[in-house]
Amino acid sequence: MAARTSVDRVALSCLSFVNEQRRVRVSHDDEVSTHGHVKQQLGRITERDGTVRAWVHRHDDDVILRAVAAAPRGPLSGWTLGVKDVIDTFDLPTERGSPIYAGRTTSNDAACVALAREAGAVVVGKTVTTEFALFTPNVTTNPHDPEHTPGGSSSGSAAAVADGHVRAAFGTQTVGSVVRPAAYCGVVGFKPTYQLLPLTGVATLSHAFDTIGWFTRGVDDCATMFSALTGAEVLTAEQPLRIGRYRSHQWDVAASETVKVMDVACAALVERDAEVVDLDPLVHLESVFEAANTILHYEIVRVFAWEQTHHYELISDLARKMLMKAKDVTHGQYIDAHLALIAARREHDTFMAVNGFDALLTPSTPGEAPLIKTTGDSVFNRVWTALGVPAIHLPLGMGPTGLPLGVQLTGRSWRDRDLLASAALTEAAFNGGHD
């Protein structure tokens, strides 16, 4: 059921972050166009969310339309926005996918939400997340086939964008929770460099890895979001690109359709005069996968100390099993894993720079979205998240059962703009050379 919030309160939330000089109304024609687009999106929610179930709390339609009309002029003017339910909003509950936090409210927005509202975006509602942003499936279904998973833990955000409910949506990634649902739902999903955006107002899962990301339907919108949130001007890549096709240590789990889509992507890039270099598993990345597992398990036991002590009965069976297993990780193992990861990060950055790679091309997932009983496998995401490098999923057609497929591009730490520029050229190559 939609959460009821006064029109004035929502409108003020959009206006309070900018001064009077910046409150410029859009032209009448733009207002009419924006109003129509937003009404279409709201109609789509009404029509489809009984099946997709992307939303846990949502503003009433009239509240959203009035907020759009009152929003400040900015790079996200007229944009509707979904917010993953681990990210605080002052005007809607943040329940973290758990009955422990049912009805939990706060008086302020998370920093990323405040920045988006300042840029003109209007929050439509809170999107479904898995419990604590872990691995227990929730109610959201894949918009392409409700029998299949949308991924996790940013399931609702990816599904909402894929199904046309909103123009963009925030997610978070600790292992693969932006790239993987983007892949399964067939949208662009971007995870910036670790610590690029503040995590103020975001529920912690792992302080070593948690990163805010977002979903859009194309790279251009993704880059606009980046610019609005960071204040950085988006770059234009110079051709030709130098791309490393990376067959990771986990390559043996890649399905045949994933291997094929990697080939298609490389062929498209070569057609655009890109240099594609085949790379075997890199020695300096060999230890990263297990190091990331060790760090994650050690941290989640401590992050959820209160929940385990006071509300153990309200934690799902799957999460309980994970927490019990995680208690076996020692402090010494945790420190050793961090030291190994620090060394790997340094070596990887050097490797990328010395070899002049604009990006590495890798799978986003082993294959198409599996059935709804699981959130899918993050095997091709964990290493890149642990390294802290920016990563983006690009959709590229459908697989043999009619579900989305695509590829992942990863870049160098703090070179997010370069990666987005490379992604724009890659997307254009996918589209037959049309930007």
Active-site hit among 13, 77, 98, 153: 153
pLDDT tens digits, one per residue of 122-137: 999 999 999 999 989 9
Say how far apart CA 107 and CA 114 lie, in whole Å: 12
Pairing relationship of beta strands 359-363 and 275-279 according to DSSP bridges: unpaired
CA–CA dist 224, 226 (Å, integer): 5
Strand, helix or coil for residue 253: helix
CA–CA dist 130, 156 (Å, integer) = 9
More confident residue, 431 or 148: 148
Q: Average pLDDT, stretch 164-184?
A: 98
- pLDDT-derived band of residue 237, with 50, 70 and 90 as boundaries? confident
pLDDT band at 208 (very low <50, low <70, confident <90, very high): very high
| Average model confidence (pLDDT) across the chain | 92
The number of distinct structural domains making up the chain is 1
Residue 183 CA to residue 408 CA, distance in Å, equals: 9
339 within some domain? no
Instruction: Tell me whether residue 356 is exposed, middle or buried, using C-beta atoms within 10 angstroms of its C-beta: 0 to 12, 13 to 18, 19 or more.
Output: exposed
Whether 107 maps to a domain, the answer reads yes
221 assigned to some structural domain: yes
Tokens of 347: 């070596």
Q: 16-25, 154-163, 369-378 — which is least confidently predicted? A: 16-25
Catalytic position from the list 13, 98, 155, 177: 177
Task: Say if residue 7's pLDDT is above 80.
Answer: no
pLDDT at 218 exceeding the cut of 50:
yes
Which domain covers residue 31, as residue numbers? 7-230
Q: Per the residue annotation, which of 77, 84, 126, 157 is the catalytic one?
A: 84
pLDDT at 236 over 90: no
Q: For 49-89, what is each residue's pLDDT tens digit? A: 999 999 999 999 999 999 999 999 999 999 999 999 999 99
177 classed as catalytic? yes
CATH number at residue 210: 3.90.1300.10
- Is 177 within a domain? yes
373 tagged catalytic: no
In a domain, residue 88? The reply is yes
pTM value is: 0.92
CA-based end-to-end distance of the chain: 40
> Is residue 19 in a domain?
yes
Between 358 and 435, the higher pLDDT residue: 358
Q: Do the domain assignments include residue 344? A: no
84 is catalytic: yes
- Cβ-based neighbours of 150, under 8 Å, separated by 6 or more: 140, 141, 142, 143, 156, 158, 159, 162, 181, 184, 185, 369
Instruction: Answer whether residue 76 is part of any domain.
Output: yes
Cα–chain center distance at 356: 27
Give the percent of the chain with pLDDT over 90. Answer: 89
Give the tens place of pLDDT for each residue, 241-272.
999 999 999 999 999 999 999 999 999 999 99
